[in-house]
């Protein structure tokens, strides 16, 4: 994803977002300062606040918006919410690497990671409450609930290799798509009073979020030196991702794959054998086809939003997810 091109239309707004982000993370507690420094040094593309700002501009936010406009603290809160979930996920998954760098739990410990994640989440709720917009507050609150439900549902389904695609879509809708939908919705809420525009933005975000998670499922099969994540981590954690579900639907593949992955501790050789089996049998390609369907649907939904350079930037984000 070429972020510089996508950021260009909203470049005048980015410093206001970064300032709001720094204010939210500020603390005079030394360990929080150390944790913030590590987390900021290893931040990702910050796609979610970018989507929030672009959606707002698409729906009418002027580029000369004042630094005190609530869109900036909202974008910062959304990024902090996302970061909180990643920190907690690393604890749950016992991950040592994220973006090719050590995780908080691996450098400190699980307790510290959970607490800094909680600190971030508390900062999010405090920030959103000060904005005093009931539509925004409801959207963020519902998002946190949906994400927790999605993670719990995924935990419940862990190792249950009869998961069907409908259940899989329910899980990824809750755990991933709901936050991306809320990014687009939040931008629309703070820039436009038209409920139909709110709905259009949220629907686009949902479809984009589903595609984003399917792409993440596919990336799990790629070597770690290209992704920054341990290869096959989803398989080790007995997650039923789309390539695995598709492979298990075929009885012939099922008979070969289950003995490799349906065990408490999956060896490195079994993991590599499973990755090779799923890849060579074409299930990564089938998952890509599903990804492209959702990306095309996202493109179609964009036509319900105002036609301007910001909508074109959102279209570029959709296209960027084709890159694997």
What is the SS3 assignment for 101? strand
CA dist., res. 53 & res. 249, Å (int): 41
User: Distance between CA atoms of 201 and 163, rounded to whole angstroms?
Assistant: 30
In a domain, residue 2? The reply is no
7 closest CA partner among 314, 319, 324, 318: 314
Task: Residue 12: count other Cβ atoms within 10 Å of its Cβ.
Answer: 11
- Tens of pLDDT along 27-82? 999 999 999 999 999 888 899 999 999 999 999 999 999 999 999 999 999 999 99
Q: What is the CATH number of the domain that holds 171?
A: 1.10.600.10
Q: What is the pLDDT of residue 1?
A: 57
Q: Is residue 99 part of a domain?
A: yes
Q: Please give the pLDDT value at position 272.
A: 95
- Does residue 1 sit within a domain? no
Whole-prediction pTM: 0.94
**Parent domain of 181:** 7-320
Please state the domain count of the chain.
1
Tens of pLDDT along 198-210?
Answer: 999 999 999 999 9
On whether residue 104 sits in a domain, the answer given is yes
- The confidence score (pLDDT) of residue 125 equals 95
Determine, yes or no, domain membership for 205.
yes
**Residue 297 included in any domain:** yes
Contact 90, 113 (CB under 8 A): yes
* Residues in the chain where the model's pLDDT stays below 50: none
pLDDT of 228 reads 66
pLDDT at 95: 83
Is residue 83 in a domain? yes
């Amino acid at each position: 994803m070429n972020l510089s091109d996508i950021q260009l239309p909203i470049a005048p707004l980015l410093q206001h977002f970064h300032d709001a982000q720094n204010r939210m993370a500020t603390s005079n507690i030394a360990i929080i300062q150390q944790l913030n420094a590590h987390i900021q040094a290893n931040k990702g593309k910050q796609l979610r606040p970018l989507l929030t700002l672009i959606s707002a501009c698409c729906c009418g936010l002027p580029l000369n918006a004042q630094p005190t406009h609530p869109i900036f603290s909202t974008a910062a809160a959304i990024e902090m919410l996302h970061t909180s979930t990643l920190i907690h996920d690393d604890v749950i998954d016992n991950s040592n690497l994220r973006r090719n760098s050590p995780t908080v739990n691996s450098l400190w410990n699980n307790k510290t990671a959970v607490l800094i994640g909680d600190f971030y989440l508390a900062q999010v709720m405090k920030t959103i409450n000060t904005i005093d917009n009931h539509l925004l507050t409801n959207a963020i609150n519902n998002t946190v609930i949906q994400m927790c439900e999605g993670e719990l549902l995924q935990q419940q389904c862990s190792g249950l290799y009869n998961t069907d695609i409908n259940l899989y879509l329910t899980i990824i809708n809750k755990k991933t798509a709901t936050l991306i939908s809320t990014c687009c919705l939040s931008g629309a809420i703070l820039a436009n009073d038209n409920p139909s525009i709110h709905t259009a933005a949220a629907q686009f975000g949902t479809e984009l979020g589903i595609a984003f998670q399917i792409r993440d499922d596919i990336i799990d099969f790629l070597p770690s030196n290209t992704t920054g994540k341990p290869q096959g981590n989803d398989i080790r954690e007995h997650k039923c991702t789309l390539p695995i579900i598709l492979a298990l639907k075929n009885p012939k593949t099922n008979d070969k794959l289950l003995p490799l992955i349906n065990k408490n501790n999956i060896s490195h050789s079994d993991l590599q054998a499973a990755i090779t089996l799923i890849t060579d049998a074409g299930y990564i390609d089938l998952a890509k086809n599903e990804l492209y369907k959702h990306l095309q649907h996202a493109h179609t939904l964009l036509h319900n939003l105002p036609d301007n350079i910001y909508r074109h930037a959102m279209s570029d984000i959709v296209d960027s997810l084709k890159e694997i």
